[in-house]
Amino acid sequence: MATVKPFTALLPDSGRASDICELPYDVMSIAEARQMAEGRPDSFLHVSRPEIDLPKGIAPTDPSVYAKARDNLDRLIAGGALRRDERAHYYLYRQIMGGHSQLGLVAVASCAEYDDNTIRRHEFTRPEKEDDRVAHLEALDAQTGPVFLTYSADAELDALFDRIAGGESDHDFTAPDGVQHTSWTVASEEDTQFIASRFDSIPSLYIADGHHRSAAASRVAKRRAGSGTSGLFLTVLFPHDQMQILAYNRVVRDLNDQSSDEFLAALGQAFDIEESGSATPGGKHEICLYLEDLWRTLRPKPSAIDPDDPIKQLDVSILQDQALAPLLGIDECRNGKL
């Protein structure tokens, strides 16, 4: 059973969504954030990256950074850029990027179900990033970025979402990166009850992105003993068959005191290496490596694949176990400096 509830959201004022909405906080440098928010007082970067409004060089985890985030959020609310919805709703959210479209639900999920693994995780968190999200959440007393969840596609939910999305939207704009964002409020109480009941029959949800945000929400819920809405966290849920999985590449700063030739020779113990010129794997058990201005494709040898452990058979595990750890000394990716 998955608990997915409506909530009372802070919403962009009519016609101002494109002035407010921004990329996630962790996909840009502070210099890029300053440039993106320049001359745009309503940009949500003033909340998600508040150090842009403080002297250069300040540590992103300085207490004044979180205080500034709260000040800026209060300013957006007081100035009318953000307004609180009249009551709890579900919301639909569609993204269109190139030829790909995905339509999902904005709601709140249960921290208790995160803790008991009804909401499934697939990666560890980095302690310093988790601590940062806890401090940000505590300072703002608000959740400012959704956790991206997925679930097994449900034909009845798909049909309902398509019907609602056929009506007039609340907000619709195309961001500078070319992604179109559209949202709708689920206004009908009958539709609201139907959504809740359908998710009640879905056994598990899966975190696609937002492990640090969900872990932070769980920690804050424990601190506050689940009081108020602290036992819930902000999510956007997309059905699995609309998901588009993008690359999450590793950038390694050095070769652990090896020359390029020595590193490639060591890799050759576990991988067949081809100078392919390709930057994108062509299929399972292919890993692309860019080194010395050349793209190579690595294919693990049978001895590098554990036939008895499905986790160890994942390409990300093979990369870690056969290259990052033994050859580069990166034993723990969440703490290692890649």
The pLDDT value given to residue 220: 96
309: Cβ contacts below 8 Å, ≥ 6 apart: none
pLDDT tens-digit map of 106-151 = 999 999 999 999 999 988 899 999 999 999 999 999 999 999 999 9
What pLDDT, in 10s, does the model give residues 276-319?
Answer: 988 999 999 999 999 999 999 999 999 999 999 998 999 999 99
**Whole-number Cα distances in Å, 113 to 78, 233, 332:** 34, 11, 27
Rounded Cα distance, 319 and 325, in Å: 9
pLDDT at 245: 79
Q: Which residues pair with 232 in a beta bridge?
A: 110
Residue 55 has pLDDT above 70, yes or no: yes
Confidence of residue 334 (pLDDT cuts 50, 70, 90): low
| CA-to-CA dists, residue 144 to 70, 212, 276, angstroms | 11, 13, 43
124 and 331 in contact (C-beta within 8 Å)?
Answer: no
**Res. 248 pLDDT band, cuts 50 70 90:** confident
Q: What average pLDDT does range 14-20 have in this prediction? A: 95
pLDDT of residue 335: 54
**In the predicted model, is pLDDT for residue 337 greater than 60?**
no
Indicate the SS3 state at residue 302.
helix
pLDDT at position 50 is 98
Average pLDDT in the chain: 95
CA dist., res. 296 & res. 203, Å (int): 41
% residues pLDDT > 70 (the chain): 98
Measured CA to CA, the distance from residue 334 to residue 328 in angstroms comes to 15
pLDDT band at residue 333 under the 50/70/90 scheme: low
Give the model confidence (pLDDT) of 153-181 as tens digits.
999 999 999 999 999 999 999 999 999 99
Q: Are 136 and 61 in contact (CB under 8 A)?
A: no
Residue 336 has pLDDT above 70, yes or no: no
pLDDT at residue 227 is higher than 80: no
Residue-level pLDDT at 230: 86
Measured over the CA atoms of residue 271, residue 277, residue 279 and residue 283, the dihedral's sign is negative
- Given a contact cutoff of 8 angstroms between Cβ atoms, the answer to whether 26 and 125 are in contact is no
pLDDT at position 321: 96
pLDDT at 320 over 80: yes
